[in-house]
Structure 1
């Protein structure tokens, strides 16, 4: 099974879900992908079998934020990245802050309006299972100005060229997470049965809107 073992700056390294209804979201995604959750009441790991596939938390109370899937990109130095975000027209929403002994993170909004997390890991090896049914397999930045967005991320990650996937899709700029599934139509039927809707078709993938409004995409094997 593929485990991400090393993350180059700018590469997706983590995904998590911010829930408005934690109990309902666990039931929805548990049926859809076969996931289990730590259910610690705080920030939880999402697992497929014994393997970690992402994180699960609550939308902070009183902030009027939507439920969402959040992409995190690897950085070598979170503090330096925060300065570059501001310098090149982005906004730091919070952080950088320590995340226990695992690393440092910040959350930002890029100049196009897409929210993104940046993660400086303290561990040399990754722990996230990817590219298997029930795990994420791709992240895309959807923006109305791909050239500007690519230039911003290249500057933030201090590289000549940003190698992430930047797409000219809209209407609202966002990072989109794609999850691999071997269920085909059965996966879509399960999602719709629990209150999700089909938002769009994207090549072989289908973009879904979960019952709380969070967008994500499923890609068949």
Structure 2
């Protein structure tokens, strides 16, 4: 079970889940279990690592969303609202799997909450083809550090903290016009080789490889426009 504030799941909202399965299946070696018709759970070596979900509204962007674990999604949603964030979608049960909510921080960066029941989150992470890190690109990094430091203090700064979550200025990598957002990183063994695969599969490179405090990173988009990063530590 993941502690409150630990990234515990990611999903991609896509217009075409079947096309997503082909892209990510070849890029990361994922296999898939189809749930509920419009939802495919991705597996790596038989363990759950992500999900692909069909967008219900074509006007919404194709995006990867990170979920932070919590034992009480309604309580955490209230704390987020009280701290200046917004609750986009109030906590609601996802069948027997858990309770989820969609929220933003005070600058508008979107993330999700996950209160687990039958689905605890990642079965495998920090290995090639699985979740490795999430970076918040913010306009005001000091304000972001204060907001998340208060919200997820134990996960970020507690004695057992092993953070998979960093904060950086939007302009470090992106145009100043880019809104604040979370960027999900997946581990790879070789970033240039993975970039070749992304291009071959119909994706594109948004930011070529660069060095960070947590490893070599490149930012890409898939063949449907959802952005994510490749990370080699």
The normalised TM-score by structure 1 is 0.88
Further displaced range: 120-129 or 199-208? 120-129
The match for 1:205 is 217
Alignment partner of 1:217 is 2:229: yes
Q: CA 1:172/1:27 → structure 2, altered by over 3 Å: closer, same or farther?
A: same
Residue 106 of structure 1 contacts residue 118 of structure 1 at CA under 8 Å; is this kept in 2? yes
Partner of 2:167: 166
Which position in structure 2 is the counterpart of 1:85?
A: 80
Identify the residue that residue 176 of structure 1 maps to in structure 2.
Answer: 183
Provide the C-alpha distance between the structure 2 equivalents of 1:142 and 1:49, rounded to a whole number of angstroms.
31
Give the structure 1 partner of residue 131 of structure 2.
Answer: 136
Deviations 1:185-209 (A, max 9, x none): 3321111012211111341111101
User: In the aligned structure 1, how far is the partner of 2:95 from the partner of 2:15?
Assistant: 24
The SS at the match of 2:18 is helix
Q: Provide the residue aligned with 1:191 in structure 2.
A: 198
Matched residue, 1:36: 31
- What is the match of residue 162 of structure 2? none
Correspondence for 1:145: 140
Query: Which runs of 5 or more structure 2 residues have no equivalent in the other structure?
Result: 158-164, 172-177
Change (3 A) 1:182 1:144: same
TM-score by length of 2: 0.83
Native 8 Å contact 1:150 1:162 kept in 2: no
User: What is the match of residue 11 of structure 2?
Assistant: 16
- Alpha carbon RMSD of aligned pairs, Å? 2.1
Residue 78 of structure 1 deviates from its aligned partner by 0.7
In the alignment, the residues of structure 1 paired with residue 155 and residue 5 of structure 2 have an alpha-carbon distance, to the nearest angstrom, of 10
- SS of structure 2 residue aligned to 1:39: strand
Query: In the alignment, which residue of structure 1 is the partner of 2:66?
Result: 71
Cα pair 1:71 1:177 within 8 Å, conserved: yes
Aligned CA distance change for structure 1 residues 87 and 58 (closer, same or farther; 3 Å) = same
Runs of 5+ consecutive residues of structure 1 not aligned to the other structure:
1-5
Change (3 A) 1:103 1:39: closer
**What is the aligned length?**
214
Change (3 A) 1:57 1:8: same
